[in-house]
Amino acid sequence: MAHIVFIHFLYLSQNDPRHHHFDFLCTLGCLSQSVLITQWPHYISSPPRGSVQMYCYQNDTDYEYLYWYKQLRGKSFQLIVSIIAGSPTLEKEFESGFKAARSETKQWSLTITSVKQKDEAVYLCAASPHSAVTALRSVTKTHSRDDV
C-alpha cells in the first residue's frame, strides 16, 4: 500500500497583487497502518524563475520505493520522479527544471529549479514497500468520451 501526502503550489507573477501571499500548502501528514509521512515546508514563496524545494519524511518505515507526483487542476496525477534504492529517475517531461534526491534512508526531496507558471499544481510524495506507479496511475486515469 502506498502512502501519500499532498502539497499545493500556486504560482504568481511579480506583478500580481497576491504575490507576497502565496503559499506552499501542505497537509501535515498521511496516517495509514501506523505509517506516517510528513511533507514540508508548510509555506514557501518564490519569485518567477526562483527555486523551491519540498521534502518528505517517512517516520516509521524505510521503504525503498519513493515517488513525487504532480496534479494539474482537473487532470490526473503525473509521475515526476521515482527514487528506487536511492537512485532518482525523472520522467522525460520533468528532466529539465526538476531535481530529486534521497538525502537519507527516511527522507527525500523535490526541487523545482526555475519556477514557471505551468508549475502551479498539487504535488504529492508517496512511499511504498513495492512499486506503486502502476496502481496510482490506474486509479487516477481520466476517461475521455472516446473511452465510453
Specify the pLDDT at position 1.
43
pLDDT digits (tens, 9 = 90+) for 40-97: 876 667 788 899 999 999 887 778 889 999 999 899 999 999 999 889 999 999 999 9
| Better-scored residue on pLDDT, 105 or 118 | 118
Name the band, by pLDDT with cuts 50, 70 and 90, for residue 104. confident
pLDDT digits (tens, 9 = 90+) for 11-42: 434 444 433 322 233 333 433 455 688 888 76
Specify the pLDDT at position 61.
77
All domains in the chain, ordered by first residue: 3-141 (2.60.40.10)
Cell of 112: 523545482
Tell me the CA end-to-end span of the chain in Å, nearest whole number.
29
Enter the pTM of the model: 0.68
Torsion of CA 83, 72, 49, 95, to 10 degrees: 40
Cell of 95: 528532466
Distance between CA 129 and CA 106 in Å, rounded?
12
Q: Is residue 147's pLDDT more than 50?
A: no
- Compute the Cα dihedral for 61, 64, 69, 75 and give only its sign: negative
Specify the pLDDT at position 12.
39
Specify the pLDDT at position 16.
41
